[in-house]
């Protein structure tokens, strides 16, 4: 896809800067004993100048040999002049250049020195490691997955492995643990991922099969009105203004109280919490929404319309996610209040404390900005780490959409991801469409996958927004003939007095109504 983003130089002319370069010496005696011809040197300088002016030309695997050689030249120059680069930047550069063996060496140094990178670095590293994978989620370069395993150990400070015996990870012969457990949602993950049994918080009790209704044409008794009642567009972003730039516009639709009719508390089961086994900090709250309430949400999204999502430029072009369609919903206060009160007894009352002392603020609410996703057959959201987000809302005076609606004196930021499953196993083929977490195993170089099965009306909650404790996860592919509907939003905590008042830009936040990356579920 990266080829579509290349820019042609008009009339084949070189940039004006190149014309200002000093003319190479013409004295033949000075170049007789040199290894590089003057004409070759001038051509090389021209190419480098073009790449500096148009860095997008560097995207794509066909440029990896060039990037490797340029890095080697930089390393020679740096060592010779006493310059140096931080361990984080060395890892970033090695991964972006597909030099996974070099990256492993630097990652192992960070691991043994017990150093913590920034969350933004972790997110970038995960994307670079995943760039070699196939469009169906199958693994790419085994060395890239070894890097990913070591990244997780750094982030989670895993105590499962012994550093004195872990240096074998730097070898190139891989590991020998392949068995039937290497299949994840039917995909052969090679010898680097051990699949744990798919976990369900319980068997589905009552369920409405929404996808079955859509296929049978019974989702609506009568054609829905246009515009859809109690929903209105509150914000619109052009495709070119999204971050990263997209091929499609994005619209936020706000709801009015009563847009989703909520069942009285007397007629609904009491929500209950169950921890996800072996996934630190992750838990499921059951019975937050009834099947009928889930059906109403999907009806609204189906009637108003789903929006596509496809990056137009940037690093996302080289990634292989088959992105789900989405409906962006700014939920109304009455719906948010029900949601919040239902899960409040079960969520951590205070945000986690990070290694640098941030965190600890009290839980305050749920981010009103919802993304309702529709995953059809084979669609998935590739492995990623979620960033932190501010509290979106509407200006109480103008009604204008505000990406960060918290007052400066009382800022809020998210520290937990909330995934609301709107349909269940009746619509989603067995052991597919899960939310899958990837964690270090007891053997370095081997990861474990822990898949959580969707249950209609349940909410999966897990930590994000910090290097320590943020979980690598994917929205796994939906099986043949199935569809998954899920909402992605956040649990908000007080930020004032607890380190950073707002999420850092490196964690994925783009202010001013811009779009964002890495929030699928």
User: Does an H or E element contain 251, and which?
Assistant: strand 250-255
What integer pLDDT is reported at residue 380 of this predicted model?
A: 85
Which of 251-255, 287-291, 336-340, 412-416 has the lowest average pLDDT? 412-416
What are the pLDDT digits (tens) for 344-361? 999 999 998 776 666 789
What integer pLDDT is reported at residue 136 of this predicted model?
A: 60
What integer pLDDT is reported at residue 157 of this predicted model?
A: 64
CA dist 470 to 217, 388, 398, Å? 41, 10, 36
Contact at 8 Å (CB) between 309 and 323?
A: yes
Average pLDDT over residues 163-187: 38
What integer pLDDT is reported at residue 357 of this predicted model?
A: 65
Taking 90 as the threshold, does the pLDDT of residue 167 lie above it? no
Q: Are strands 231-237 and 250-255 parallel, antiparallel or unpaired?
A: antiparallel
Q: Between 190 and 425, name the one with better pLDDT.
A: 425
What integer pLDDT is reported at residue 521 of this predicted model?
A: 63
pTM over 0.85: no
What integer pLDDT is reported at residue 34 of this predicted model?
A: 67
What integer pLDDT is reported at residue 9 of this predicted model?
A: 43
Q: Would you mind telling me the total number of residues written for the chain in this entry?
A: 521
505 φ, ψ (degrees, to nearest 5): -60, -30
Confidence of residue 518 (pLDDT cuts 50, 70, 90): very low
Q: What percent of the chain has pLDDT over 70?
A: 75
Tokens found for residue 158: 């895993």
CATH 2.60.120.620 placement within the chain: 193-494
What integer pLDDT is reported at residue 130 of this predicted model?
A: 79
Cα 97 to Cα 95: distance, rounded to the nearest angstrom:
5
Which of 254-263, 412-421, 478-487, 496-505 has the lowest average pLDDT? 496-505
Q: Write down the H helix ranges in 116-243.
A: 119-130, 142-156, 210-216
Q: Are strands 459-463 and 412-421 parallel, antiparallel or unpaired?
A: antiparallel
Taking 70 as the threshold, does the pLDDT of residue 291 lie above it? yes
What integer pLDDT is reported at residue 208 of this predicted model?
A: 97
Q: What is the chain's alpha carbon radius of gyration, rounded to the nearest angstrom? A: 25
Q: What's the chain's average pLDDT?
A: 80
Taking 70 as the threshold, does the pLDDT of residue 384 lie above it? yes
Which of 27-31, 266-270, 299-303, 476-480 has the lowest average pLDDT? 27-31
Return the half-sphere exposure (C-beta side, CA atoms, 13 A cut-off) of residue 411: 18
What integer pLDDT is reported at residue 138 of this predicted model?
A: 66
CA dist 54 to 6, 48, 50, 417, Å? 9, 10, 6, 37
Cα 367 to Cα 410: distance, rounded to the nearest angstrom:
15
What integer pLDDT is reported at residue 60 of this predicted model?
A: 76
What are the pLDDT digits (tens) for 66-114? 887 887 776 665 544 434 458 898 999 899 888 999 999 999 999 998 8
Cα 293 to Cα 137: distance, rounded to the nearest angstrom:
32
Taking 90 as the threshold, does the pLDDT of residue 424 lie above it? yes
What are the pLDDT digits (tens) for 147-162? 999 999 988 764 444 4
The CATH architecture one would assign to domain 193-494 is Sandwich (2.60)
Residue at token pair 């719906």: 335
Confidence of residue 437 (pLDDT cuts 50, 70, 90): very high
What integer pLDDT is reported at residue 29 of this predicted model?
A: 43
Taking 50 as the threshold, does the pLDDT of residue 182 lie above it? no
Contact at 8 Å (CB) between 497 and 363?
A: no
What integer pLDDT is reported at residue 508 of this predicted model?
A: 38
Q: Write down the H helix ranges in 239-393.
A: 291-304, 333-343
């Amino acid at each position: 896809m990266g080829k579509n983003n290349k820019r042609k130089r008009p009339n084949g002319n070189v940039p004006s800067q190149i014309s200002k370069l000093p003319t190479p010496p013409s004295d033949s005696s000075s170049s007789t004993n040199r290894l590089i011809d003057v004409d070759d040197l001038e051509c090389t300088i021209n190419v480098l100048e073009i790449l500096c002016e148009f860095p997008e030309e560097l995207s794509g695997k066909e440029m990896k040999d060039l990037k490797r050689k340029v890095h080697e030249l930089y390393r020679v120059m740096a060592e010779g002049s006493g310059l140096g680069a931080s361990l984080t930047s060395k890892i970033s550069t090695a991964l972006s250049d597909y030099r996974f063996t070099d990256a492993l060496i630097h990652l192992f140094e960070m691991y043994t020195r017990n150093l913590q990178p920034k969350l933004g670095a972790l997110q970038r590293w995960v994307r670079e490691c995943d760039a070699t994978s196939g469009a169906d989620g199958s693994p790419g370069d085994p060395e890239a997955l070894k890097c990913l395993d070591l990244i997780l150990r750094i982030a989670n400070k895993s105590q499962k492995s012994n550093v004195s015996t872990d240096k074998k990870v730097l070898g190139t012969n891989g590991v020998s643990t392949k068995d039937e457990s290497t299949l994840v949602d039917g995909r052969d993950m090679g010898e680097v991922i051990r699949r744990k049994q798919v976990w369900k918080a319980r068997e589905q009790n009552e369920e409405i099969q929404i996808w079955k209704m859509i296929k049978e044409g019974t989702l609506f008794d009568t054609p829905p009105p246009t515009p859809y009642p109690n929903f209105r567009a509150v914000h619109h972003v052009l495709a070119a203004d999204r971050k990263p730039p997209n091929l499609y516009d994005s619209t936020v639709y706000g709801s009015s109280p009563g847009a989703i009719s909520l069942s009285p508390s007397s007629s609904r089961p009491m929500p209950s919490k169950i921890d996800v086994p072996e996934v630190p900090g992750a838990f499921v709250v059951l019975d937050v929404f009834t099947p009928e309430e889930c059906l109403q949400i999907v009806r609204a999204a189906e009637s108003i319309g789903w929006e596509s999502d496809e990056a137009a430029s940037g690093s996302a072009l080289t990634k292989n996610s088959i992105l789900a369609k989405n409906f962006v919903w700014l939920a109304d206060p009455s719906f948010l209040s029900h949601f919040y009160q239902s899960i409040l007894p079960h969520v951590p009352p205070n945000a986690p404390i990070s290694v640098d002392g941030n965190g600890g603020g009290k839980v305050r609410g749920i981010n009103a900005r919802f993304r309702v996703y529709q995953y059809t057959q084979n669609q998935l959201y590739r492995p990623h780490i979620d960033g932190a987000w501010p509290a979106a809302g509407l200006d109480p005076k103008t009604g204008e959409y505000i990406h960060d609606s918290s007052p400066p004196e009382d800022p809020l930021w998210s520290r937990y991801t909330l995934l609301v499953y709107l349909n269940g196993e009746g619509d989603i083929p067995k052991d597919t469409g899960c939310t899958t977490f990837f964690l270090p195993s007891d053997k370095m170089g081997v990861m474990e996958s822990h898949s959580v099965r969707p249950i209609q009306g349940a909410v999966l909650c897990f930590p994000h927004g910090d290097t320590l404790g943020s979980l690598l996860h994917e929205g796994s592919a939906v099986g043949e003939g199935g569809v998954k509907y899920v909402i992605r939003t956040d649990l908000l905590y007080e930020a004032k007095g607890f380190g950073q008042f707002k999420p850092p830009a490196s964690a994925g936040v783009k202010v001013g109504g811009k779009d964002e990356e890495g929030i699928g579920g």
